[in-house]
């Protein structure tokens, strides 16, 4: 694959990864290789599968959130997404992630 970095625009809510800043809304700008984008896409895809499992589980009200494996998996994947965006993101991405504190145990600051 191509090792050169390209600019991508990421929408966390939809899991969309775009090369265009005008086609759809986005939260973060990153510079990534094809391999890095493939990995990020795989994490978003895994979360989509977990969301379906969580949706189905939500119809079983006896299971509490903190004992809910799909929610744990979703949270784990989202941490991976934010970690990748932090590593590959521009200054604004890093500052926003620092501000919300989601990676406070993982960032070097």
Q: What is the pLDDT of residues 10-40, one digit of tens each?
A: 999 889 999 999 988 899 999 999 999 999 9
Residue 51 tokens, joined: 């969301």
The yes-or-no verdict on residue 108 having pLDDT over 50 is: no
Q: Is 18 exposed, middle or buried (0-12, 13-18, 19+ CB in 10 A)?
A: middle
Alpha helix ranges (H) inside the chain: 34-57, 69-88, 91-100
Cβ-in-10-Å burial (0-12, 13-18, 19+) of 80 comes to middle
Task: Express each pLDDT in 48-89 by its tens digit.
Answer: 765 545 554 555 566 555 555 656 777 888 899 999 999 999
């Amino acid at each position: 694959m191509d090792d050169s970095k390209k600019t991508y625009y990421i929408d966390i809510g939809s899991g969309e990864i775009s090369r265009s800043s005008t086609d759809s809304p986005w939260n973060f700008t990153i510079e990534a290789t094809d391999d890095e984008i493939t990995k990020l896409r795989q994490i978003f895809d895994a979360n989509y599968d977990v969301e379906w499992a969580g949706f189905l589980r939500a119809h079983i009200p006896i299971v509490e959130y903190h004992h809910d494996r799909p929610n744990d998996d979703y949270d784990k994947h989202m941490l991976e997404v934010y970690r990748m965006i932090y590593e590959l993101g521009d200054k604004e991405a890093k500052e926003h992630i620092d501000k919300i504190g989601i990676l406070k145990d993982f960032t070097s600051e």
